[in-house]
Amino acid sequence: MARWEPNARGRLEQAALDLFSERGFEQTTTAQIAERAGLTERTFFRHYADKREVLFGGSRALEEVFVDTLGGTPETAAPIDAMASTLETVAAFFAERHEFARRRQAVIMANAELRERELIKLSSLSAALAATLRRRGVKDPAASLTAEAGIAVFKVGFERWVGENGERGLADFLRESLDELKVVAAGA
Amino acid sequence: MARWEPNARGRLEQAALDLFSERGFEQTTTAQIAERAGLTERTFFRHYADKREVLFGGSRALEEVFVDTLGGTPETAAPIDAMASTLETVAAFFAERHEFARRRQAVIMANAELRERELIKLSSLSAALAATLRRRGVKDPAASLTAEAGIAVFKVGFERWVGENGERGLADFLRESLDELKVVAAGA
């Protein structure tokens, strides 16, 4: 019978990021991650399908937060305002996660396969947001462009947030990036 | 000595797209492409490193057109206006290429590996455009956001263009998408 391990997921995440940062993603095995976390490899596989999942385990939850929040905004709101309030909610998802996000980003940027996977997740997220906007009655190309704009703001704001020390929250960076996109689009 | 084959590249492209569309990308070999084109496999490899390159052979040239054009816009132009005139020039790159682009898009959308490669090319293009804007004195996050906006407009406009019959040129679709992005960003 499986023993209950307090905060096994968090310990595995921490151990995985430590090892990925020290030796590189390719050179790290699931057995080493489990050992560093003081857990068995069996426990590792109860929580993650493979070592890549430690980095992407949150992607589905993130897409759900994005889609559910956007889908729940009032249909009377302009699409870009619906996206703005969605980004505020999404930012809360990353509260207390700055250090994890910063280290995860460094591991991903160092590995072509992981960068590809991150791009695919963002592309699938953009498609899900466009579909959600269409369901709310937004026509194309406005739906696709609002979704792409939201992802661009998220990407740029997120990268700036992980590049800083974490004192200012992600919401600030996302708001700033959206404001800047509006300024850019207005031709200033 | 290599025999000169009139329009070998064009014939190989056409044959490759025909076969990819008929049998799928995975099921097609370079030998089959060469045979269908009435050329030898050796001739194929004089023009393309592998069968994937028939689809992505134009990516480097496209990035060059994007970067050279954006880099040559007057520094007094607002970044989004520099991007708008860059998109006009890029559209000319695709004149007479609607049928090829339409069929290429269908092949790429049907294959996960090819979709990934396309995303990576667009992401690298976005990074190159942001770097070009920074050299022109545009600060961040404006440089990154203008680049991402340009890519979003290109992607959405391009998809709409290949989805239609080719009577209207790509420039029209890119202009419309950029105008729509401006409307979206302004909160309409």
pLDDT tens digits, A77-133 = 999 999 999 999 999 999 888 999 999 999 999 998 899 899 999 999 999 999 999
CA-to-CA separations, B117 to A44, B99, B105, B179, in angstroms, rounded: 31, 21, 12, 28
B127 touches chain A (CB under 8 A): no
Domain containing residue B140: CATH number? 1.10.357.10
Do B40 and B106 share a domain, yes or no? no
| DSSP 8-state assignment for residue B49 | S
**In the predicted model, is pLDDT for residue B2 greater than 90?**
no
Task: Specify whether B18 is located in the same domain as B49.
Answer: yes
Asked whether the predicted pLDDT for residue B19 surpasses 90, the reply is yes
Mean confidence (pLDDT) of chain B: 93
Domain match, A152 and A92 both: yes
pLDDT at position A58, please? 86
CB B149 within 8 Å of CB B181:
yes
List Cβ neighbours of A150 (8 Å cut-off, separation of 6 or more): A83, A86, A87, A126, A129
| Same domain, residue pair A75 and A133 | yes
Q: Which domain holds residue B83?
A: 58-185
CB contact under 8 A, A149 and B181: yes
A31 within some domain? yes
B110 and B25 within one domain: no
Is there a contact between A149 and B120 if contact means CB atoms under 8 Å apart? Answer: no
Q: What is the mean pLDDT of residues A134-154?
A: 96
User: What ipTM is given for this predicted complex?
Assistant: 0.88
The answer to whether the beta carbons of residues B13 and B24 sit under 8 Å apart is: no
Question: Does some domain include residue A2?
Answer: no
| Assigned domain for A80 exists | yes
Q: Tell me whether residue A3 is in a domain.
A: no
Q: Are residues A103 and A147 in the same domain?
A: yes
pLDDT tens column, B21-30: 999 999 999 9
> Would you state the pLDDT for residue B3?
62
Which of B78, B180, B186 lies at the smallest CB-CB distance from A145?
B180
Would you state the pLDDT for residue B22? 94
Answer yes or no: is B1 within a domain. no
Percent of chain B with pLDDT over 70: 97
Q: Are residues A63 and A93 in the same domain?
A: yes
Contacts of B177 in chain A (CB under 8 A): 141, 145
Q: Which of chain A's residues have a Cβ under 8 Å away from the Cβ of B182?
A: 185-187
Same domain, A81 and A148: yes
Are both A47 and A62 inside the same structural domain? no
Number of structural domains in chain B: 2
User: For B138, which residue in chain A has the nearest alpha carbon?
Assistant: A184
Average pLDDT value for residue range B44-51:
93
Residue B174 tokens, joined: 């890119």
If asked whether residues B36 and B91 sit together in one domain, one would say no
CATH code of the domain containing B23: 1.10.10.60
B2 found inside a domain: no
Q: Is residue A1 part of a domain?
A: no
Cross-chain residue pair A186–B182, CB shorter than 8 Å: yes
A188 in contact with B at a CB cutoff of 8 Å? Answer: yes
Distance between CA B60 and CA B70 in Å, rounded?
A: 15
Which of B119, B152, B188 is closest, CB to CB, to A152?
B152
Looking at chain B, the whole-number percentage of residues with pLDDT higher than 90 is: 86
Q: Kindly indicate the confidence band of residue A25, based on its pLDDT and cuts at 50, 70 and 90.
A: very high
My answer on whether A169 and A97 are in the same domain is yes
**Residue A73 and residue A86 in contact, taking contact as beta carbons nearer than 8 Å:** yes
Mean pLDDT of the residues in chain A: 93
A146 and A167 part of one domain: yes
Give me the mean pLDDT over the B103-123 stretch: 93
Interval B57-96: pLDDT, tens? 888 899 999 999 999 999 999 999 999 999 999 999 998 8
Residues of A in contact with B80 (CB under 8 A): 184-187
Residues in chain A with CB shorter than 8 Å from the CB of B188 are 78
pLDDT in tens, B140-172: 999 999 999 999 999 999 999 999 998 999 999
Give the end of a domain, one of B20, B36, B53. B53
